[in-house]
């Protein structure tokens, strides 16, 4: 199949599996094919985060990230030859937020809050441009760190009477999202958040991936954000999946597939 690379961002595919014990018993080498499929994806320059899922929703999960959707589909097909049966999946794309501050926003802030003008203003804006370029590159082409816990859930914005996000003026949505983002920034160093877009691609509008070393940090950020108006009035959440990140062969062993 010809590569299919989005014009903006990378593909992000979450797949959740349950162990087929009968298939594993009939074909002892089948688990190796799954590990080999993950290794081949990584060898092609993609990222693959494998985790052992806590709870009954699934046994094992993979988060695969990379530029070519056809390559992600090929990985899915290769993984199906193993004794792992897909029970749920989610597709999204990395994206930039439409509510990110513009250079005009930053210029006005520097002038009003810090009283900058002339060369000092130009230097501050140059620093801001460099910082924003780094931020945008990370959002579109993330390199995720090694963490011990991964949480994933999809979400959408409400369209209820009296609480329809899409009827709000853009400036009001941007103001609300600014407050929402400040809550998230309070967890810098404890939580890495990756928000990906899925409108028209899957059943919800966004996918949220949280990476941490401490599950308490996941619990706390989700709880605190529930009180923010963006979540309290306008957010709908899908199922939450949480897993323990591990190298693929260790993860397979932990679900009984040595």
Active site residues: 153
**Are the CB atoms for 16 and 87 separated by under 8 Å?**
yes
Stated as kind and residue range, the H or E segment containing 144 is: none
Contact (CB, 8 A) for 52 and 244: yes
What's the rounded Cα separation, in Å, for the pair 245 and 253?
13
Q: What's the rounded Cα separation, in Å, for the pair 64 and 87?
A: 16
User: Do 53 and 61 form a contact (C-beta atoms < 8 A)?
Assistant: yes
Q: How far apart are CA 210 and CA 190, in angstroms?
A: 10
Distance CA 118, CA 14 (A): 48
Classified as helix, coil or strand, 231 is helix
Q: Which DSSP helix (H) or strand (E) runs through 220?
A: helix 215-226
- From first CA to last CA, the distance across the chain in angstroms is 32
């Amino acid at each position: 199949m010809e590569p299919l690379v989005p014009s903006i961002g990378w593909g992000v595919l979450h797949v959740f599996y349950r162990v087929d014990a009968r298939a594993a018993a009939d074909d002892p080498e089948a688990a190796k094919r799954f590990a080999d499929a993950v290794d081949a994806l990584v060898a092609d320059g993609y990222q693959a985060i494998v985790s052992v899922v806590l709870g009954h929703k699934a046994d094992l999960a993979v988060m695969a990230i990379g530029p070519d959707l056809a390559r992600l589909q090929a990985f899915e097909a290769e993984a199906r030859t193993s004794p792992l049966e897909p029970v749920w999946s989610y597709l999204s794309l990395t994206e930039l937020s439409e509510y990110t501050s513009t250079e005009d926003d930053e210029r006005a802030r520097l002038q009003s809050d810090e009283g900058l003008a002339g060369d000092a203003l130009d230097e501050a804006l140059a620093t801001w441009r460099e910082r924003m370029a780094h931020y945008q590159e990370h959002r579109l082409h993330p390199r995720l760190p090694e963490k011990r816990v991964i949480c994933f859930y999809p979400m959408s914005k409400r369209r209820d009477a009296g609480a329809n996000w899409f009827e709000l003026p853009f400036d009001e949505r941007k103001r609300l999202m600014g407050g929402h983002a400040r809550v998230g920034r309070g967890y810098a160093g404890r939580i890495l958040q990756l928000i990906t877009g899925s409108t028209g691609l899957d059943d919800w509008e966004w996918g949220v991936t949280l990476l941490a070393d401490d599950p308490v940090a996941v619990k706390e950020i989700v709880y605190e954000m529930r009180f923010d108006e963006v979540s309290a009035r306008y957010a709908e959440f899908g199922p939450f999946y949480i897993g323990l990140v591990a190298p693929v062969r260790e993860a397979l062993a932990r679900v009984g597939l040595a």
